Amino acid sequence: VVVIGAGFGGLAVARGLLGAAVDVTLVDANNFHTFQPLLYQVATAGLDAENVAYAIRGSLRGRRRRRPSNAAVRMARVTAVDLAARRVTLADGDALDYDVLVVASGAVSHNFGVPGVAEHTLPLKHLDDALALRTHVLTRFEEAAADPAVVAEGALDIVVCGGGPTGVELAGGLRELYTMVLAKDFPRLPVHEARIVLVEMADRLLTPFTPRSSERARRTLVERGVEVRLGTSVAAVEEGLVHLRDGTTLSAGTIVWATGVTAEGVAARLGTATTRGGRVVVEPDLTVPGHPEVFAIGDIAASPGADGAPLPQVAQPAIQGGHHVARQIRRRLLGEPTEPFRYHDKGQMATIGRHAAVTELANGWRLSGVIGWLAWLGLHLVYLMGFRNRIQVFVDWAWNYLTYDRSSRILRESEREVVEESGEQTV
């Protein structure tokens, strides 16, 4: 079994096959799994990068120590899949043959063809993106400390494009970073006057949530000092400028692109049917049509929900899809037919910052404020990979909460050079 991608979905497949009578090779471009829901905390200096990443090899060690694991890890980028030859080609030129293939390489940031996005905005999809964003914001502050004149040009202002969960959490987290930490670090700069603007094309934030939760999120953000611009989209981006379709132009030292994602490139390279968002069309059992030996799960697949519509590109469909595929491979080993995938909706949640979150459970319960926030914290700790990471994140959160501080705001020379040399932001 070859599994492409060690995200939520791919890792669930590989772990679900530990001890089964199959050889599993888990291929990922990195040697670590990223817990993407907490990336915004790395970007806003709340957590260290190591706390939201976990070494893939560590999570696939055999359960019985004396017996070697049946799962191997290969760090490589997949560049092609030959369905007829049942072969996966890697960027280093090597190839892996398979009997069963699981495609779980996720999604990538999408610029929707808006001019200037690729050159002048920062995405938030990978660990490196989070570190680059943190470095970028902190560098703007150091520049402003050296030359306060740049503040009037908008050096400290931020525009976050996209009012989904990522944009909302990031805008709230950045505002906290500014008011709780950077205002104290840079007492001579007018940090409280810096604008953080959240732009959303729809007429409300968090569109997958109920209008009541959307309004609660908007109100909380505005109360905390975030400007929310609804019902207008980004027409173009230039260096330090965001042109909106309503005719206004926002200037900002940092522009973040958090509007959405599209399926990762392997989806197109399969050559099978895809949806409008580039996601792989799958059968009810999550196999690719015409290829019962190939499964696609998570963000890259249009996994059908109870009503047949594609499930949202969030963690639970990937995790549950991974468990399902591992079960189906085990069934086939026993000569049993595959079963259709049944998704169990557990609800959704987004945090806006200290004491504020919106949580909608599948049973209709709505939690907000402190209770919603505590539910958000608890759930993210439960799903975070690795016991040590959980302890570390818990300690960091307690520290940040009690001291109103953020410890992860060092500017490493190597990362600083990346910003300075490139001279511009890239997706």
> What residues are labeled active site?
169
Q: How far is residue 321's CA from residue 328's CA, in Å, rounded to a whole number?
A: 10
Examine residue 124 and tell whether it contacts ligand FAD (CB under 6 A).
yes
Examine residue 266 and tell whether it contacts ligand FAD (CB under 6 A).
yes
Helix (H) or strand (E) segment spanning residue 281: strand 280-281
Helix (H) or strand (E) segment spanning residue 254: strand 254-257
Tokens 């196999």 locate to 287
- Residue among 1, 2, 3, 8 that touches ligand FAD (CB under 6 A): 8
User: Is residue 22 packed enough to be buried (19+ CB in 10 Å), middle (13-18) or exposed (0-12)?
Assistant: middle
Q: Which stretch binds ligand FAD (CB under 6 A): 31-39, 281-289, 326-334, 410-418?
A: 31-39
Backbone angles phi, psi at 127, to 5 degrees: -60, -40
Contact status, residue 79 vs residue 89, Cβ threshold 8 Å:
yes
Examine residue 111 and tell whether it contacts ligand FAD (CB under 6 A).
no
Q: How far is residue 280's CA from residue 263's CA, in Å, rounded to a whole number?
A: 8
Question: Which string of DSSP letters, residue by residue, matches 143-164?
Answer: HHHH-THHHHTTTT-EEEE--S
Examine residue 360 and tell whether it contacts ligand FAD (CB under 6 A).
no
Nearer to ligand FAD, 100 or 318 (CB): 318
Q: Which stretch binds ligand FAD (CB under 6 A): 3-11, 110-118, 229-237, 337-345?
A: 3-11
- Residue among 1, 2, 4, 53 that touches ligand FAD (CB under 6 A): 4
Q: How far is residue 185's CA from residue 141's CA, in Å, rounded to a whole number?
A: 10
Nearer to ligand FAD, 89 or 139 (CB): 89
Contacting ligand FAD within 81-110 (CB under 6 A): 104-106
Examine residue 318 and tell whether it contacts ligand FAD (CB under 6 A).
yes
User: Is residue 354 packed enough to be buried (19+ CB in 10 Å), middle (13-18) or exposed (0-12)?
Assistant: middle
String of contacts with ligand FAD for each residue 220-259, x by CB under 6 A: ----------------------------------------
- Residue among 16, 28, 140, 141 that touches ligand FAD (CB under 6 A): 28
Q: How many residues bind ligand FAD (CB under 6 A)?
A: 34
Examine residue 315 and tell whether it contacts ligand FAD (CB under 6 A).
yes
Nearer to ligand FAD, 116 or 162 (CB): 162
The string over 255-278, giving b where at least 16 C-beta atoms fall within 10 Å of a residue's C-beta and e elsewhere, is bbbbbbbbbbebbebbebebeebb
Give least dist CB 112 to ligand FAD, A: 16
Q: What SS3 state is found at 352?
A: strand
Q: How far is residue 79's CA from residue 93's CA, in Å, rounded to a whole number?
A: 9
Question: Which string of DSSP letters, residue by residue, matches 98-134?
Answer: -SSEEE---EEE--TT-TTHHHH-EE-SSHHHHHHHH
String of contacts with ligand FAD for each residue 153-172, x by CB under 6 A: ------------xx------
Q: How far is residue 375's CA from residue 378's CA, in Å, rounded to a whole number?
A: 5
Q: Which stretch binds ligand FAD (CB under 6 A): 24-32, 114-122, 135-143, 323-331?
A: 24-32
- Residue among 1, 2, 3, 9 that touches ligand FAD (CB under 6 A): 9
Examine residue 27 and tell whether it contacts ligand FAD (CB under 6 A).
yes
Provide the total of helices (H) and of strands (E) in the chain, helices listed first. 14, 26
- Residue among 2, 42, 98, 125 that touches ligand FAD (CB under 6 A): 125
Q: Which stretch binds ligand FAD (CB under 6 A): 209-217, 302-310, 311-319, 329-337?
A: 311-319
Nearer to ligand FAD, 30 or 232 (CB): 30
Nearer to ligand FAD, 40 or 209 (CB): 40
Q: How far is residue 267's CA from residue 40's CA, in Å, rounded to a whole number?
A: 26
Examine residue 314 and tell whether it contacts ligand FAD (CB under 6 A).
yes
**Where along the sequence are the contacts to ligand FAD (CB under 6 A)?**
4-10, 27-30, 36-37, 39-40, 77-78, 104-106, 124-125, 165-166, 264, 266, 298-300, 313-316, 318
